[in-house]
Amino acid sequence: MKSCRSCLSAFSLWNTTTAITNAPILFSNFLMPTDNTLKPLHEELELLAHAVEGDTFHFVVAQWHHFSLIKQVENYLRQQFPERSALSLRVKDHNYDALTEQIYHLHKGFVFIEDFENLLDDPNLYVAFNQRRGKIAQLPLCVVCFLPPGNDHVKKCIQRLPDWWSVLTFFAELAAPEVAKADRQPAFQEPSRTSTLGGGEQQERLEEIQSLKKRLSNVEINPENAKLLDRLYSQLLELCQTAGLYQMGLDAANEWLKAALTLDYENTAPDAYSLILDRIGTFEEHLGNYARAARLMEKALEIDLKNFGNEHPNVAVRQSNLANVYRNLGQYEKARDLLEAALASAEKNFGQEHPNTAVRYSNLALVLQDLGDYEGAKKLLEKALASDEKNFGQEHPSTARSYSNLATVLQSLGDYEGAKKLLEAALASAEKNFGEEHPNTAVSYSNLAGVLQALGDYEGAKNLLQKALASDEKNFGQEHPTTARRYSNLALVLKDLGDYEGAKKLLEKALASDEKNFGKDHPNVARCQYNLATVMIETGQKAEAKPLLESARRIFIEKLGPQHPYVARVESWFSGLE
């Protein structure tokens, strides 16, 4: 098996960075629940309740990622608004006349349509329902329509119910708790998701972003518009993150903060204020400004500790997000302490077998892996996997993420065959649940390729990465950060195959993309410079490699600190230049 000393690699196993040895500097690609893909369930529910206040008409579309969330949402809204009547309906149990008659008869309160996809699949139903929008919208009703996972369902809703979509109050993505975006799994790359509100192509995302920015420019900042501003900014930041437009997202988040300060959120809505600080910190983190991100997230955590106490789920989310920044800074002990507190909170609030607790097990496991405690990490990830298999079954995407996370630790323990089996199961799940061209499946291809590379099957790794790259170029375009990571992954395999020119070309593309997306002083840029320099050294271009190594060392010292392992890795190559 070939040893790879030379690169800081980009391979990903659902939300974990590969342990740093004297090997390539990896851009983590393992996607566990993050991020930084969906908001924690309780946070999404709070936004939903905020959006439907007032006895006026509201139209809500809620896309669930586990069917049990339907009843959780219904019960939550009933508890928040006990004075309102509520009616739960299933399209398949009624003809259209009976369905609308019950809605008209309720007249005021909540209408929950639990299988809205059945209405969207029947032309007679969706045409008639669209025509009745004007009459129903005159009633003080909140119509909450539930859709199963999949962007196709949202597209159908937009295309087949244009009159309803034009008055949409709130779009909620009800991820199972472990795929909460704001509760990113530290160190795993965040899942790349297609846009929820307008299709999966990058151009459509950009059009949605421009539309939201235009709407925001016409909204006056006053208390009456506070809910609308929160909703629009939240959607805008979500789209910017999905599109990889981190500087634009940071600018928008700072505009939201300015509006919040004008509305005195610090005193009147401290929970919303801490959320905004956390979001700004997230974009600062994406842009490599880790020290600034830490300061913002520390402030957000301080606010939530004051308002909620040590054991509230909001506090655990803030602790997890801040821990991720500490990991990026190489402050693993501080990250571990925060994640141990978050886990204790989850076990007390939810019990050991709840999906939220499984997330905490995974988060803490990643830091233990950073600290070299692979057996401890393995035990926690096995508990997370057992929880997911019990709660979701073996073929659910959440379970697949747990397979991938556990596989990273098995790799660290040298059990490549065991890791391969888990990643093959994760890939089979992704292909079944999402199809071959979905971004999540591309991550699974890349994860499995990383193990094949470690096993010396470079051709197999190359084939998988070419499929992942084709998917990313189609879904995100050539200049998106996700595509750049894939260029780096494939380049490292080409290097192993002796195709140094091919590797160099891909790394140059990745470097140009990262400089454009993050600026010239971002750690991702330093990783690309390092990887490119090692390829140049292999081909005898030592003079060209030296300034790249010097730049990478400077960036790592400035952004991560002089004691970070990446600094030592880069410095080990200077002797080869003599």
Domain residue limits, the chain = 40-174
Is residue 42 within 8 Å of 57, Cβ to Cβ?
no
Is residue 357 within 8 Å of 387, Cβ to Cβ?
yes
Mean pLDDT of 566-578: 85
Give the DSSP per-residue string, 480-523: SHHHHHHHHHHHHHHHHTT-HHHHHHHHHHHHHHHHHHH-TTSH
> Pick from 410, 436, 406, 485: which is nearest to 185 by CA?
406
Q: What per-residue confidence (pLDDT) applies to 201?
A: 54
* Angle value at C-alpha 462, between 461 and 466, nearest 5 degrees: 120
- For 121-138, what is each residue's pLDDT tens digit? 888 888 888 888 888 888
Q: What is the mean pLDDT of the chain?
A: 83
- For 483-505, what is each residue's pLDDT tens digit? 999 999 999 999 999 999 999 99
Q: What per-residue confidence (pLDDT) applies to 40?
A: 59
Q: How confident is the model at residue 420 (pLDDT cuts 50, 70, 90)?
A: very high
Q: What per-residue confidence (pLDDT) applies to 8?
A: 53
- For 11-58, what is each residue's pLDDT tens digit? 433 333 222 223 344 333 333 333 333 455 776 787 788 778 877 888
Contacts of 430 (CB under 8 A, 6+ apart): 397, 400, 438, 440, 441, 443, 444
Q: Tell me which of 104-108, 209-213, 347-351 is least confident.
A: 104-108
294-302 — which CB contacts under 8 Å span 24+ positions? 294/322, 294/325, 294/326, 294/329, 297/321, 297/322, 297/325, 298/322, 299/274, 300/274, 300/275, 301/274
- For 360-392, what is each residue's pLDDT tens digit? 999 999 899 888 899 999 999 999 999 989 888
Q: How confident is the model at residue 532 (pLDDT cuts 50, 70, 90)?
A: very high
Q: How confident is the model at residue 192 (pLDDT cuts 50, 70, 90)?
A: very low
Two tokens, residue 265 = 């959120």
The architecture (CATH level 2) of 40-174 comes to 3-Layer(aba) Sandwich (3.40)
Mean pLDDT of 246-265: 92
Contacts of 188 (CB under 8 A, 6+ apart): 12, 13, 14, 15, 16, 17, 28, 29, 30, 31, 32, 34, 366, 405
> Pick from 245, 165, 167: which is nearest to 213 by CA?
245
Q: Please give the model's pTM, rounded to 2 decimal places.
A: 0.66
